[in-house]
């Protein structure tokens, strides 16, 4: 058993050692922050986007860097997960993206404000957060090989924008959203010209369409038309149920 003086020395020594370790770890963290947060890439539009994020109380519904509310999706890696086209369309008209489902408030952001928020979310997504949150595996969408019945990954021929944007509402190979119709066999049902017209402006093709006019460039539309035109095999009930 320790004497009172020995216990006092033990307590004080342990306190100073722990305090010293805490100071050193704090200094090391401060040293790492500029590089891990890509501080050099913090442009003026990123700063404006951050102020707009705060003034609009986005964290009242969303989480960012693990902090905020859990009512709406976590947005730390949303730029990687959904891409700028989806984010822009969602901020411009939330209700149009998910008719009758989404309850996100329309803040009536201007195009410049939306661009600032997109820049801010892009910058947030480049931070080195030591593996947080887990990296999304959007490219590895599981589908079923109809000849063998085995699950495999369909990654090679899918445009990035398809996995970021289209899958949010449509499904392919039994994977994806259920807001819009499945895209299996769409190349058999629709011509390339029809798909192109639809992607440019769905409401000009069908006035009561629930799909909004998305901010797609001609380059992206051409890429999507080429991909969708190749989807000539409809999914089987077995595949759709996977």
Instruction: Tell me the pLDDT tens digit for each residue of 45-58.
Output: 999 999 999 999 99
Instruction: Tell me the pLDDT tens digit for each residue of 159-209.
Output: 989 988 999 899 998 888 888 899 999 999 999 999 999 999 999 999 888
Give the mean model confidence (pLDDT) for residues 19-40.
86
Query: Among 113-122, 137-146, 171-180, which is the least confidently predicted range?
Result: 137-146
Cβ contact 222:163 at 8 Å: no
Burial class (CB in 10 A: 0-12, 13-18, 19+), 3: exposed
- Cα–Cα–Cα angle for 28, 30, 34, nearest 5°? 115
Which residues are 68's β-sheet partners?
63
Residue 133 scores a pLDDT above 90:
no
Give the mean model confidence (pLDDT) for residues 6-19.
90
Residue 109 scores a pLDDT above 90:
yes
Give the whole-number percent of the chain exceeding pLDDT 90. Answer: 50
Mean pLDDT over the full length of the chain: 85
Q: Select the CATH number that applies to the domain covering 40-125 from these four: 2.60.40.10, 1.10.760.10, 1.20.1560.10, 1.10.10.10.
A: 1.10.760.10
What is the DSSP code string of 9-70?
A: HHHHHHHHHHHHHHHHHHHHHHHHHHHHTTGGG--HHHHHHHHHHHHTTGGGT-EETTEE-S
Rounded to whole angstroms, how far apart are CA atoms 110 and 113?
5
Rounded to whole angstroms, how far apart are CA atoms 38 and 33?
8
Which has more confidence, 99 or 51?
51
Cβ contact 213:201 at 8 Å: yes
SS3 201: coil
Cβ contact 129:65 at 8 Å: yes
Give the mean model confidence (pLDDT) for residues 27-33.
82
Nearest to residue 77, comparing CAs of 60, 63, 94, 98?
63
The model's pTM: 0.70
Cβ contact 129:76 at 8 Å: yes
Q: What is the pLDDT of residue 39?
A: 85
End-to-end CA distance of the chain: 65
- Tokens matching residue 26: 């704090």
Q: What is the pLDDT of residue 220?
A: 94
Q: What is the pLDDT of residue 10?
A: 87
Cβ contact 140:167 at 8 Å: no
Q: What is the pLDDT of residue 147?
A: 45
Domain 141-240 coded CATH 2.60.40.420: yes
Burial class (CB in 10 A: 0-12, 13-18, 19+), 208: exposed
- Tokens matching residue 223: 């890429």
Q: What is the pLDDT of residue 102?
A: 66
Residue 137 scores a pLDDT above 70:
no
Which residues are 64's β-sheet partners?
67
pLDDT band for position 123 (cuts 50, 70, 90): very high
Nearest to residue 185, comparing CAs of 234, 228, 147?
234
Dihedral (Cα; 205, 211, 216, 218), 10-degree rounding: -20
E strand or H helix at 161:
helix 160-164
- Tokens matching residue 206: 């069908």
Nearest to residue 183, comparing CAs of 204, 211, 205?
211
Q: What is the pLDDT of residue 9?
A: 87
Which range, 50-54, 71-75, 154-158, has the best average confidence (pLDDT)?
A: 50-54
pLDDT band for position 141 (cuts 50, 70, 90): very low
């Amino acid at each position: 058993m320790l004497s009172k003086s020995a216990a006092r020395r033990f307590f004080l020594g342990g306190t100073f050692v722990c305090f010293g370790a805490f100071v050193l770890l704090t200094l090391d963290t401060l040293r790492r922050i500029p590089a891990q947060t890509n501080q050099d890439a913090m442009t003026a539009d990123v700063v404006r986007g951050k102020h707009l994020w705060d003034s609009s109380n986005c964290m009242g519904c969303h989480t960012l860097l693990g902090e905020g509310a859990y009512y709406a999706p976590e947005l730390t890696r949303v730029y990687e997960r959904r891409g700028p086209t989806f984010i822009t369309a969602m901020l411009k008209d939330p209700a149009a993206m998910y008719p009758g489902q989404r309850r996100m408030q329309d803040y009536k952001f201007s195009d410049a404000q939306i661009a600032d928020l997109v820049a801010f979310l892009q910058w947030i997504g480049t931070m080195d957060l030591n593996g947080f949150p887990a990296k999304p595996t959007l490219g590895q969408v599981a589908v079923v090989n109809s000849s063998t019945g085995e699950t495999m990954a369909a990654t090679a021929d899918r445009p990035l924008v398809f996995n970021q944007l289209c899958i949010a509402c449509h499904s392919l190979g039994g994977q994806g959203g259920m807001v819009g119709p499945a895209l299996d066999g769409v190349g058999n049902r629709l011509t390339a010209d029809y798909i192109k017209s639809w992607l440019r402006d769905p409401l000009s093709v069908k006035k009561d369409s629930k799909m909004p006019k998305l901010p797609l460039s001609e380059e992206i539309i051409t890429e999507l038309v080429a991909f969708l035109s190749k989807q000539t095999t409809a999914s089987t009930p077995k595949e759709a149920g996977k």
